[in-house]
Structure 1
Amino acid sequence: MTRFTARIQRTRPAATFAMAARARALRAAGKDVISLSIGEPDLPTPVHVVEAAHRAAHAGETKYPPIAGTEACRAAVARKFAREQQLRVTAKDVLITNGGKQAIYNAVMSVIEAGDAVIIPAPCWAGYIQVVEFAGGVPVFLDGPAAGGFRLDPAALDAAITDRTRLLLLNYPNNPSGAVADRALLSAIGAVLRRHPHVLVISDDIYEHLIFDGTYQTLAAVAPDLADRIVTMSGVSKSYAMTGWRLGFCTGPADWLNAMSLVQGTATAGVSTISQAAAVAALDGPQDILAERRAIYRRRRDLVAAALLDAPGLACVKPEGAFYAFPAVAGLLGCTTQAGRRLLNDDDVANALLEEALVATVPGSAFAMSGHIRLSTATGDAALAEACARIVRFCHSLH
């Protein structure tokens, strides 16, 4: 039998993809499953973006790219950071990555040694846990309770930092809760970080354009004196419906970006030239699509939030951004389904919803906060309405 490394034993498949695979298997067996498990826009990639990729391919832009990205793509990202986040960035301050996930992977793998502590506000995207543990780091979760809008408490952050703390991972708007950090919260986080100069920060802004009220703020802009300790990352996947193009990007201090480029050069090298040409078109092209699609996701958020009010046992904080809902299921625990399944935790609830109500969700345990389920609202209104109706009927049927 093959002997695998300890890092393989430390990691696990993402629960979101596992639930999506189970949903596909049930569909293949003839079941009418509605999957709300994956956070992937159902909307198409903009036509002008696809056409730009087509032109690039026909023009012969099909050779190996520079590891850090093409000059055109890095310059487009720099303009985006300056235009939208007021960051003073040039092309040389940008690294293009194979999706946003690789930006996080590069950043973590370049600064985390075995035993280093990484503070992760919970609930959190499961990918953070995977990469931190893969690197040998120790995740330290700080719960942001529903009563506080799932936001990080700066006092709790201050108390959690020790000599072993190397990194803070921020994600606002948040996956899975939809929580948003305003300027006051980011300023308070910055004040804490000034007291602990050994702590670095990754600011994952992938949902930056999906804020339903107010405007986006990023930590490096709110606290520019901390910019030499912050990697700010985003991508085109969520905002421009380009998940399959695998194009992420980040900016930060030169020494950290250089180290991240070395990680990337070791793992995957540069990003598809075709995807980079598409990203230039997305970032430099018409931006009215952002407001149009934000309005669609806001409408879907409202649809789900209103529908779940009729579900006994569920309690859902109205998301402020992203395209998820994260209802608490405490009121369902201890109940029994029509099929005789006893619901003891959020995993039981998610499994019962899939197998009995034919709605695929993801248990909160996958996001470091048990007692909830995550629903993606990145699907059509009709499918969302029917999924919610099934969830409501399921909740009413429990005894």
Structure 2
Amino acid sequence: MDAPIIELAARVKEIKASPTLAVDAKAKALKAEGADVLNFSVGEPDFDTPPHVCEAGKAAIDEGFTRYTPVPGILPLREAVCHRLATDHGWRYQPDQIQVSCGGKHGLYNMAQALFGPGDEVLIPAPYWVSYPPIVQLAGATPVIVPLDEASDFDLDPAVLQQYATPRTRGIILNSPSNPTGSVLSARALEAIGKMALENSWVVISDDIYDTIVYGDDKLPHILEVDPRLSEQTLILNGVSKSFAMTGWRIGYTAGPKHIIAAMNKIQSQSTSNPSSVAQKAALAALNGPQDFPRQMRDAFVPRLNFIMEALTAIEGVTCVRPRGSFYVFPNLSAYFGRQSQDGRVIGDSVALADYLLEEALLATVPGAAFGADQFVRFSFATSMGVLEEGMKRLADALAGLR
């Protein structure tokens, strides 16, 4: 007798696994087989977590701080988040307006589960981070993709936003600096978003995970600084993953209106409970300790950014908006669509091109289709200059090999 086939829930059938993690896994598998793969796909700094942060984690273990903590995170850590938000931005929050989660993605998931449901629409500018639409879908709501234009440096056009807003719109997700483009939303765009949000009672979700990795001296505009009236309908999401090279520690945090955070705590209490106690102690050391590490990382990224931009734009047919933040570039490689490799393979889209680059040039990248922008391919420059130099040479050679 054959075993019965167990049906999966409909929600699982509607979403795909994270493409960035899938590419990273494929690249690591090739590398394990001995291939000299250069990995430009993974979204994490190539720096070790600062020693004082690691020591705090070790001390937590030695001191037996290994049991359950309060669901929203330990009070000292939530107080440290409040202090950072006040010191860095002038925003005043209380600990009961803060939730600490198992990474920034977890905070976004809790938010969507607490706020959205069937019939709701959530505006998501594209290119977008790969997990925004699935997180909205898993809440039963509908992601509405708002296209951004490369010609305007991926800034949001208020007129275009208006075209996609409907009476069912409940919120909008912002990510500035952006993953994958590194672009920044202008004050003009944020003013328009704020006006529409106030008029229509939208919730504004501001994913600020790259806010410490910014190039140039100008202070970037932020939705709460452009229109402080939005504080009661805005959620700020951040974490220590990017700013302190703590991706594996899995600590994110959300700041927002007390009743929304309370609802998110309900969701977290019935899913993961508290984040790791040890990781919380490490994050506390990061937020309360010296704040020069993010600046040191940013300074190290600048020559890499300059190099990769020069290398990319030197390739015939390639255009690339210069990032103002994050550690990604998002070149437009669509000039090579429709061409063939030497073995007759036709490059029809960004997925085919990314596969070609991985198999033929041993370059791991992420296709733009994963970010809602099929003309592009994402490269992380959070790697050594030697890897960047070899990688850009391989890219130029691989593209030149297409006919």
| Aligned match for 2:93, one of 84, 89, 92 | 89
Aligned partner of residue 195 in structure 1, secondary structure: helix
- 1:132-281 paired onto structure 2 within 5 Å: 132-197=136-201, 199-213=202-216, 214-281=218-285
Q: How far apart in 1 are the matches of 2:376 and 2:59?
A: 46
User: What amino acid maps onto 1:78 in structure 2?
Assistant: C
> Is 1:63 the equivalent of 2:64?
no
1:148-207 CA-partner distances (Å, limit 9, x unpaired): 11122122222321111111011110000001124343223212222222x111110000
How many angstroms does 1:220 deviate by?
2.3
User: What amino acid maps onto 1:361 in structure 2?
Assistant: T
Q: How far apart in 1 are the matches of 2:288 and 2:371?
A: 34
> Is 1:12 the equivalent of 2:16?
yes
Aligned partner of residue 131 in structure 2, secondary structure: helix
User: What amino acid maps onto 1:156 in structure 2?
Assistant: V
| Equivalent residue, structure 2, for 1:341 | 345
Aligned partner of residue 200 in structure 2, secondary structure: coil
Contact 1:144 1:153 (C-alpha < 8 Å) held by counterparts: yes
How many angstroms does 1:366 deviate by?
0.3
Moved more, 179-188 or 255-264: 179-188
Contact 2:96 2:261 (C-alpha < 8 Å) held by counterparts: no
Contact 1:118 1:168 (C-alpha < 8 Å) held by counterparts: yes
Contact 1:200 1:229 (C-alpha < 8 Å) held by counterparts: yes
How many angstroms does 1:211 deviate by?
1.0
> Is 1:79 the equivalent of 2:83?
yes
Q: Give TM-score scaled by structure 1 length.
A: 0.97
Gap runs ≥5 in structure 1: none
| Aligned match for 2:381, one of 361, 377, 382 | 377
| Aligned match for 1:32, one of 36, 49, 53 | 36
Total equivalences in the alignment: 398
User: What amino acid maps onto 2:203 in structure 1?
Assistant: L
Aligned partner of residue 119 in structure 1, secondary structure: strand
User: What amino acid maps onto 2:280 in structure 1?
Assistant: Q
How many angstroms does 1:73 deviate by?
0.4
Moved more, 291-300 or 170-179: 291-300
| Equivalent residue, structure 1, for 2:132 | 128
Gap runs ≥5 in structure 2: none
Contact 2:255 2:261 (C-alpha < 8 Å) held by counterparts: yes
Q: How far apart in 2 are the matches of 1:303 and 1:295?
A: 14
| Equivalent residue, structure 2, for 1:286 | 290
Q: Give TM-score scaled by structure 2 length.
A: 0.96
Q: How far apart in 1 are the matches of 2:267 and 2:234?
A: 18
Which runs of structure 1 show a deviation greater than 6 angstroms over 4 or more consecutive aligned residues? none
